Amino acid sequence: MTEQPNSDWRATYAGQWASRLPDLLARTYPYATQHVSGGPDDCDVTPWKLHPSFHGCFDWHSSCHMLWSSVQLLTLAPDHVDDAARHGLIRLLDDRLDPAKIAVEVDYLRAHPSFERPYGWGWAAMLAAAADRCPLPEAQVWRAATRPLFEVVIELVGNWLPRLRYAVRSGEHSNVAFGLGLVLDAGAILGEESLRPLVTERAQFWFGEDRNYPAAWEPGGSDFLSPALTEADLMRRLLPRAEFRDWLTAFLPGLDVPGHPLTLLPDVVDPTDGKGAHLLGLALSRAAALRSVSVAFDADTRESLWATTHQHVESTAGHIVDGDFMATHWLVSFAILALTANA
């Protein structure tokens, strides 16, 4: 593939994102806990007590994937992160990825096996994978601390998937294809792909015969994921290239034609509303998925899709750093996904 738009994203974005992340992760409130109390003695939801590693950034999963973003920026763009931001991120990661604190999170997940399923699971796995790839000396501790986090995710997914009769095709956190895609990506990095046969069997059962998806029905009013594109991107991970091309052509006919509904920018009316801000993330998650599934198309079509998705990234750039907290507390992660897709 030829040099793509946004190949200079490190110089354009990395420094400002890295400078913003410590403040966002240190912002304790507002915090949305999803804790289910088991009794009157289980009602303390003080963020840093309940989740010593994954508090700040509004909720558990956002804290998790913004820590992932921190590791990614230190790994992928070290020359564009200034010393102050670098030291701030390392101090933060040393604190949050402390082995004793991560052990609390692992115990919590095991005791609450439906908590953050599957979205948070996917990001927890990705955090472990990012720590494994980080070349910094400090990452040796992060790597050891997060490996049990990855292992509990593998355990939880393995117990859950055989019991999941129907796919969840939501445009939000419960979307099964997006979460499983992250777990597979993390497993590939960490050399632990024992779940791949099970995910392949489930995905074929749910999605293998899907045809003529009604793309014009997307998006929903609070979507930050495209149900169609997350499904396609999961199948891209699982099918041989030629087989995936045939499947995608049948599932999303015309995706390679300019103006297809799934390539359009969502209309964001109120980015200060938590659900409204989801549509900013949809622009980025669409960009990531479109770049990934573009492997099914010829070079000219790939170039066209990359040019289109460049606009998706640019349209959200101002919100990522200077927007309302409902946008800033999570969008960096989705921007990184978009800008590194098919790298």
Tell whether the torsion through CA atoms of 278, 178, 156 and 74 is positive or negative.
negative
Pair 75, 134: CB distance under 8 Å: yes
Residue (of 122, 126, 137) closest to 78 by Cα position:
137
Residue-wise pLDDT tens digits, 212-255: 999 999 999 999 999 999 999 999 999 999 999 999 999 999 99
**pTM of the model as a whole:** 0.97
Write out the two tokens for 222. 């609070």
Residue-wise pLDDT tens digits, 171-200: 999 999 999 999 999 999 999 999 999 999
The whole-angstrom separation of Cα 139 and Cα 29 is: 28
Domain 9-34+44-340 annotated CATH 1.50.10: yes
Q: Which residue has the tokens 């170039």?
A: 303
Domain boundary assignment for the chain: 9-34+44-340
Specify the amino acid at residue 33: T
pLDDT at 5: 44
What's 111-178 look like in SS3?
HCCCCCCCHHHHHHHHHHHHHHHCCCCCHHHHHHHHHHHHHHHHHHHHHHHHHCCCCCCCCCCCCHHH
Q: Which residues of the chain have pLDDT under 50?
A: 1-6
What beta strand segments (E) does the chain contain? none
